[in-house]
Amino acid sequence: MSVTVPPSGSRGVRFPRFLARLGNRFMVWQFGRRGGRTQGGVDGLLLETVGARTGEPRRAVLGYLAEGDDAWLVIAALAGAARHPAWLHNLAQQPDATIQFDDGRRVEVRAETLEGDDLDEAWKRIGLDAPEYAQELDLRWRVLRQPLGFAPDAVVFPFEAESLHLVALDGGRVVGCVLFHPEGPESGRLFQMAVEPDRQGTRLGTRLVRTLEAELARRGYREVILHARDTAVGFYAGLGYVPVGPPYSEVGIPHQNMRRALQPRS
């Protein structure tokens, strides 16, 4: 059990070091005064590490998910930058650290990097606990299920955690979404496609489908299938989806299965 530093990413947001340092200092200052919510709206803790190069104490505010009473899951993401946060390098050298919560509670911890099944399970929890997921569910309910008279929980599918969720954000607000459930090594189902009513007809749906398809092609998928409502058949047809089989009824409205082959990425 140890902390590993994977290779840096090849793409990611540009995040100059001085800005990262400034942002960190501000968040630590704010943590002391206003308590532990991160910019993204998740619970935050203050991590104290030992600087890998300087040996000086270093502090960073991180969002976390509690894993029982004595473990906390954090993500070394640095706001999506290609490189890693300094605290990951610090923990790789000295995994013994201290965390502090906004009620002043301090806990001695030993950091470890998750791998294999543990990492897969953690990703599922991270996704389902994300504030964007709650917004995505709300959008799906309002656009797809409420008009049909269903209750909010009717929007949750049994295979949510195994599905890929793509959301369109505008100023932190989820304004569109589409999901994909793998149903074979090279094929799967696009489902729960929804665009905020005041954004419909602005090509957001098109961008969501095309972005999803590009990611699926990158992951080696060759085919997307979907159950189109009859009112959306024209939308999908415009994106190259062709009808398969006869129309049928689902959630009380007419549907048509459609499919599209994806071009493998060269």
Ligand X SMILES: CC(C)(COP(=O)(O)OP(=O)(O)OC[C@H]1O[C@@H](n2cnc3c(N)ncnc32)[C@H](O)[C@@H]1OP(=O)(O)O)[C@@H](O)C(=O)NCCC(=O)NCCS
Site residues (vs ligand X, CB under 6 A): 143-144, 193-195, 200-206, 228-229, 231-232, 234-235, 238
Q: Which is nearer to ligand X, 2 or 206 (CB)?
A: 206
Q: Which is nearer to ligand X, 39 or 206 (CB)?
A: 206
Of the chain, the end-to-end C-alpha distance in Å amounts to: 38
Q: Of 160, 120, 114, which Cα lies nearest the Cα of 137? A: 160
Q: Beta partners for 125? A: none
As measured in angstroms, the least distance from the Cβ of 199 to ligand X is: 6
Residues with Cβ within 8 Å of 160's Cβ and at least 6 positions away in sequence, in order, are 128, 179
Q: Which is nearer to ligand X, 74 or 144 (CB)?
A: 144
Q: Which is nearer to ligand X, 91 or 177 (CB)?
A: 177
Q: Which residue is nearest to ligand X (CB)?
A: 205
Q: Of 106, 119, 151, which Cα lies nearest the Cα of 251? A: 151
255: amino acid identity, one letter = H
d(CA 264, CA 186): 11
As measured in angstroms, the least distance from the Cβ of 183 to ligand X is: 17
Q: Which is nearer to ligand X, 172 or 254 (CB)?
A: 254
As measured in angstroms, the least distance from the Cβ of 218 to ligand X is: 22
Structure tokens of 72?
A: 């906390």
Cβ 141 vs Cβ 149: under 8 Å: no
